[in-house]
Amino acid sequence: MHICCGPCTIYPLKELRTQGHQINGVFYNPNIHPYQEYQKRRQTLMDYSDKTFLNIVWPEGYPLEEFLRVVANLKESERCAFCIRDRLAYTAEMAIRDKYDGFTTTLLYSKYQKHDLIKEIGKNLSQQLGIFFYYQDFRTGWAEGVKISKELDMYRQSYCGCIYSEKQRYFK
């Protein structure tokens, strides 16, 4: 399961485990800027994964430059599509390599993400790469996940991660 952050992991992890799935996570998010924000989100997930016995793959490095080189000249809609596709493709390819049955993403939990686009990209990657994309609308558990994340005093970010969304959130 691609994981964007700790708070967004709570409900999907609970749901998938309740359904009997064995879950491993991957924290691949080159879109998260600045680096201190990336580190906060990474640490929050690390703490949560320790509490929930969730195995996480932590890719080496922080490919900021590569990400920015690609998205710098794209329109907003193209940036978001690239970002989602990049993270889901990385996860799907890892799932294939490590012989998992399928892949999914915590991005399907957020009511602030482009849900239909995430679903479409996941299904397209599934067809292209030949691995099952598990789709579920995890937004139904939004309130529950928020409540638990606050009870656990988790760091809760206020933008998706990229510098463009940070600007959109704070520049008024």
Q: Is 125 within 8 Å of 137 (Cβ atoms)? A: no
Give CA angle at 63 (60, 69), nearest 5°: 165
pLDDT over 70, % of the chain: 97
CATH of residue 39 = 3.40.50
Domain that holds residue 161: 7-170
Is residue 24 within 8 Å of 100, Cβ to Cβ? yes
Question: How high is the pLDDT of residue 160?
Answer: 74
For residues 156 and 146, give the distance between their C-alpha atoms in angstroms, rounded to a whole number: 9
Q: Given pLDDT bands bounded at 50, 70 and 90, which one contains residue 172? A: low
CA-angle at 122, arms to 57 and 76, nearest 5°:
95
Mean pLDDT of the chain: 94
Q: Is 80 among the domain residues?
A: yes
Element (H, E) at 82: helix 76-97
Segment 45-70 shows an average pLDDT of 95
CB 157 within 8 A of CB 5: yes
Nearest Cα residue to 105 out of 81, 87, 80: 87
Instruction: Give the model confidence (pLDDT) of 120-167 as tens digits.
Output: 999 999 999 999 999 999 999 999 999 999 999 999 987 677 766 776
Residue 1 located in a structural domain: no
CA-CA-CA-CA dihedral for 122, 124, 130, 136, to nearest 10:
30
Residue 88 resides in a domain:
yes
Q: Is residue 2 part of a domain?
A: no
- The tally of domains found in the chain comes to 1
Pairing relation of β-strands 132-133 and 55-57? unpaired
**Residue 119: is its pLDDT beyond 70?**
yes
pLDDT attached to residue 159: 67
Tell me what the mean pLDDT of segment 70-79 comes to.
90
Q: For the segment 32-49, what is each residue's pLDDT rounded down to a tens digit?
A: 988 999 999 999 999 999
